[in-house]
Structure 1
Amino acid sequence: MPIYELTKDTLRPAMETQFGNEGLYERQHIQQQLKRNIGVLGEDLLVVAEEFGDWLDSARRIDLLCLDREANLVVVELKRTDDGGHMELQALRYAAMISAMTFEQLLETYVARSLPPLSLEDGRARILDFLAWDDVAEDLFAQTTRIVLASADFSKELTTTVMWLNDNYGLDIRCVRLKPYKLDEMLLLDVQQIIPLPEASAFQTQIGVKKRAERQAHSERHDLRYRFWEELLDHAKQKTALHTGRKPSTDNWINSGIGRTGFALTYSVTQHQGRVELDIAYGAGLAAKNKAAFHALKENQATIERVFGEPLDWQELPERESCRICLKTEGGYRSPQSQWPDIHKCMVDAMIRLDRAMRQHVQALP
């Protein structure tokens, strides 16, 4: 969409052009202008260095390395092309490379690249003033690394990748379009942030915080379940050969055979409850066979429960194809870990009794 010159008498369109057609180059012209006018990108940034590449075993260089007001590192990658090339991949590499940068390393870089030269004291004072810090707070420095991509335009592949990374992995990548226009002999630059849209930035930031919290909770849940199963299996192998060879996982269940296809002895766990069960599941489309086996076992309910030592919960599960015979136990993977040994002991004991009560009846089914 063109931009226009508006006067009292005329509305005259400026014609879209390309940086190359106007003899403008990334490093020589665009980068220099942005370095001197970094606010054009829509953010209050401190330019620390241009063409930064002070790392071992790499010839790659960040176009502009910046710092934002929240003490986050910002990688600014520039392209004058109409599709952005593969700049998002380059910027991700750069962000990873500098993610461990300390305040002192940033200070040394800032001082070494400053014109006119600065002393360490003056450089430190300027950075602290920019951050509104009284003193260096290393624990607040560079908690994240952000990326700003600036190009004449962006391909659909690039914007799709950026939105996917932002939405699913909590990254902060912004795309700023720098579109040149020509009006007579005057060259104009239309600067637009297209990802995320400025009016959506605050909302998307809130969504990002929520998703990061959800991912952290998801990871914590998986870690807890893995350790819960690890300790249960360690205890179980001292008591029985059932589930021998099974490895801990992040799933909420672990199963083993009972000597017949379609039947499984299963431990399952939720946050605050465990369950040992005999699952009947011959396979998809075999609900009738599962129900028949369930009812055949239920005919021996009294004998089975006498051997087991207490009543079982006989669940035909009419809404599912499978069936289940189980005992619920107190305590789950979010119970205090000091209680896990007692929870595991109860579950393993119940599993041994369930196997003893069920095995011969399962084997005797037609």
Structure 2
Amino acid sequence: MLETRAYREGQLNFPKLGKLETLSAKNVWLYEAQSFTPWLAENLDLLGEALGIGELELKSTEVPAGEFRLDILAEDENGNPVLIENQFGKTDHNHLGQLITYMASQRKDATAIWIAEKIREDHRAAIDWLNAVTSDGFDFFAVEVEALKIGDSDPAPFFRAVAQPNNWSRAVDAKVAADQHLAEGHILRMAYWNSFSEFLKGKDPTFSVRKNNKDHWHEFKIGRSGFSISATINTQKKRAGVELYIHRDPFKIAIKGLEKDRTKIEQEIGATLDWQELPGKKASRIALFNYDVDVTDENTYSDIHTWMLDKMQRFRVAFGHRIKSLDLDSEHAQEAL
């Protein structure tokens, strides 16, 4: 009764709502090769989550494949290749042919993802046909990409699958189970990082972890912008890692400069490192991994924490002064890219 009276007298305060605006990918990223593909390579988790295919790990970009180059080569949680081809505008026959060529070279289970602003109807039908006639384990997706924003908010990417594997209907029917699995992954990672956070408070408070981190990595400052120590966990591969991550190194000046001192660096850290220039990416990394560890088992936390902190401290000592003294001749050009 009071609500009715308030409505009549105009006393109700309605929530302020914004208008959802759709933006084309071209309006947001401008260029496919120079902007969208590098951005997607850095944000494969968004694509994996949108398609329900789990975590994707970047392997390389602009990968030679015969006369063509694959935009992005990734790997799914089972270690199988994921081939990603991007284009702006409407899909065309050339990109369809390239996608088939890429998949024809695969000798084990693989997933192909064709991303465009608009998937033509005949190309959607072609992807459906490929999913129907190819062997189990070879999956094709056709995905439209755009961006959404409300008012003055930053645009948010939006991926929509318009063609998917034949068994995808079962996956859609099992969305609740898939969401539960994703949530379980988040819970496992949060549990690990929260435990590591408490461990650091007692052992080395110069490092700190944000609470309830759901990602498979956490970055720590090392004294120079664009560089960080990154601690990583991978529940599927049973792997923990520590790495120096160089965010802006498109010409690989930084990693090559550090590699000149590789022998001394590896002696100081006490292990052989994986020096990854990541061709085609702006970033580079120098990593060390600890295999056959179960980050889902709380009983193993102490050992993993101890190993991780030890390597983080060694990385800070070995790389800290070296990155500060790096003479990056094209540093300003790199940061502008």
Q: TM-score of the superposition, structure 2-length normalised?
A: 0.44
TM-score normalised over the length of structure 1: 0.41
